[in-house]
Structure 1
Amino acid sequence: MSIHCYEWPAKPWSRSSLSHVSIHHLSLTKKQTKTNTNTISMAALISPLKPYQFIRRSSFPKSPATKMSLHTSSAITVRKLPVLLFDIMDTIVRDPFYHDIPAFFGMSMKELLDCKHPTAWIEFEKGLIDEAELARIFFKDGRHFDLEGLKRCIYQGYSYIEGVEELLSTLKNNGYEMHAFTNYPIWYRMIEDKLKLSSYLSWTFCSCIMGKRKPDPQFYSEVLQHLDTEPQNCVFIDDRMKNIEAAKEAGIIGIQFKNADSLQRDLSLLGITFQNSSKTTQEHGI
């Protein structure tokens, strides 16, 4: 027997405490989804489960002789909800694409966009071409460039956005399940090599692995299928509103990233805890 207990200990709130956000109340039935929207100023949040609600999924043997109670030594998995899905570039990690890459080529961003292949990078992000092919077709005119030099330039440009690493560490210490949900090529391995993001989250949903990019609705569907949970049990954080809107269409809670402080406030409004485990240990004399 395997029992999976899902917990989202969301704290109660009043409407007044959410005066600066837009809450989308989600009501799901087997046949349909009804959404009532109360907009105040900022879109991107959908109300979570009721405070301290557990979701249990149980599989019991059919034979009465082999039935077991919840208090047996059977495998029990507790999953703390919500599951947190993070975009990476310009949400957790500074994206070198807009500043460092044009500088590497001695161009402005506009000049680079005008002369680069219109779909090469997208195909690279989806894993449809490798980096050798990217180098071959990157420019419309087929000009050659120093691929390894470009990779070094990009590598040097990776850094955590201010305050985000500390936030990830606190979320991990509080037991939240976190996954990358990002559009990025195989070079995500360079990010991992430099910043060690896997210390905090799993590189589960990368476009180069999944063969899809946000905001493709199928990408969101596959994420939910892989996680084996309801969409309202997930919170997705991204700096781009079009990706947030696609998440909301899938029933996923979405928060548009602005900075680490605002993200912590928005997550706190959903009942997500940021208790400092070391401080708690000291307060209880442990």
Structure 2
Amino acid sequence: MIKAIIFDLGGVLIDWNPRLLYRKIFSNEEQITYFLDNVCTPDWNEEQDAGRSLADGTELLVKQHPDHEANIRAFYGRWTEMLGGEIKGTVELFNQLRNDERYKLYALTNWSAETFVSAEQEYPFLKQFDGVVVSGVEKTRKPHPEFYNILLNRYNLKADETVFIDDNLRNVKAAVDLGIDGIQFTSAEDLKRELKERAIL
């Protein structure tokens, strides 16, 4: 019996996309792709998600790519411009589940502790979870097993009584390896179908 539903945030409940910012800076998608694949890479960003300070991460990259200094500094200097708003359909499902007394709702997110403060101010529903575990606070991140276990242990959850929703298949597979039922998020419509198949909705 499922008792807890764990949500990823970026890409599931909140539209976070660096391209929203860099479309204002670069003239075409090819330039953006090169920059995000070779300069401000996902691996670099995840180090800040895992606890490295934004300042340290930025200065490290500026030293490596001085010709991109302004664009690198924009990544966190204009970070809020990467937020495209809440993903309405998923937030509606979240609210529906929040009103169902059978379930507790949690968030497990790879997110810098420094930028998460801004997100909490922008999206009030983030304060409506029964618990939120942020990688930047815990100094570890998905897909590392210890990060999932922090949430399970902190809130006395059993893996086989939880469902985890994430848009990143890597993170879903890591949850499944721990005995958690995993759903890869692709759209609110598909998520609704998955939840209905599990008799959660």
Partners of 1:237 and 1:254 within 8 A in 2: yes
1:256 to 184, 187, 194: 184
Distance (whole Å) between structure 2 residues aligned to residue 257 and residue 171 of structure 1:
16
Letter in 1 for 2:50: K
> Offset at 1:235?
0.6
Aligned to 2:5: 84
Greater strand share, structure number: 1
Q: What is the rounded CA distance, in whole Å, between the counterparts of 2:40 and 2:127 in structure 1?
A: 35
Separation in structure 1 between the aligned mates of residue 153 and residue 17 of structure 2, nearest angstrom: 32
The 8 Å contact of residues 220 and 247 in structure 1, kept in 2 or not, is answered as yes
- Name the residue aligned to 1:183: 110
Report the TM-score when normalising by structure 1.
0.60
When the two chains are superposed, the root-mean-square deviation of aligned CA atoms in Å is: 2.2
Contact 1:86 1:179 in 2 (8 A): yes
Q: Which runs of 5+ in 1 are unaligned?
A: 1-48, 50-80, 274-286
What are structure 2's unaligned runs of at least 5 residues?
A: none
Q: Which amino acid aligns with 1:228?
A: N
Cα displacement (A) at 1:132:
2.0
Q: Which residue does 1:102 correspond to in 2? A: 22
Q: In the alignment, is the contact (CA less than 8 A) between 1:240 and 1:256 conserved in 2? A: yes
**Alignment partner for residue 55 of structure 2, among 122, 132, 146?**
132
Pair 250,192 (structure 1): closer, same or farther in 2 beyond 3 Å: same
Q: Distance in 2 between matches of 1:112 and 1:240?
A: 17
Which amino acid counterpart does residue 265 of structure 1 have in structure 2?
Answer: R
The residue type equivalent to 1:108 in the other structure is I
CA deviation after TM superposition for structure 1 residue 92, in Å: 0.9
Return the structure number with greater relative CO, CA threshold 8 A, min gap 6. 2
- State the Cα distance separating 1:171 from its structure 2 match: 0.8
Distance 2:42 2:167 in 1: 23
Tell me the alpha carbon deviations over residues 22-45 of structure 1, each in whole angstroms, 9 at most, x when there is no partner.
Answer: xxxxxxxxxxxxxxxxxxxxxxxx
Q: Is 1:165 matched up with 2:91?
A: yes
Offset from partner CA, 1:92-135 (integer Å, 9 cap, x none) = 111122x12432542412233223478542221111x2222233
Q: Is 2:162 aligned against 1:238? A: no
CA distance in 2, matches of 1:200, 1:254: 22
Is the 1:182–1:207 Cα contact (8 Å) retained in structure 2? yes
Letter in 2 for 1:90: G
Deviations 1:173-217 (A, max 9, x none): 113311111111121222221121224325621110111111112
**2:81 maps to which of 153, 156, 173:** 153
Q: Distance in 2 between matches of 1:130 and 1:261?
A: 37
> Of the candidates 121, 129, 132, which is equivalent to residue 201 of structure 1?
129
2:38 equivalent in structure 1:
114
CA contact (8 A) 2:36 2:42 kept: no
CA contact (8 A) 1:120 1:137 kept: no
The whole-number CA distance in structure 1 between the counterparts of 2:86 and 2:22 is 21
Supply the distance in 2 between the matched residues of 1:119 and 1:105 (Cα, whole angstroms).
22
Q: Bigger radius of gyration, 1 or 2?
A: 1
**Which residue among 100, 105, 130 is the counterpart of 1:174?**
100
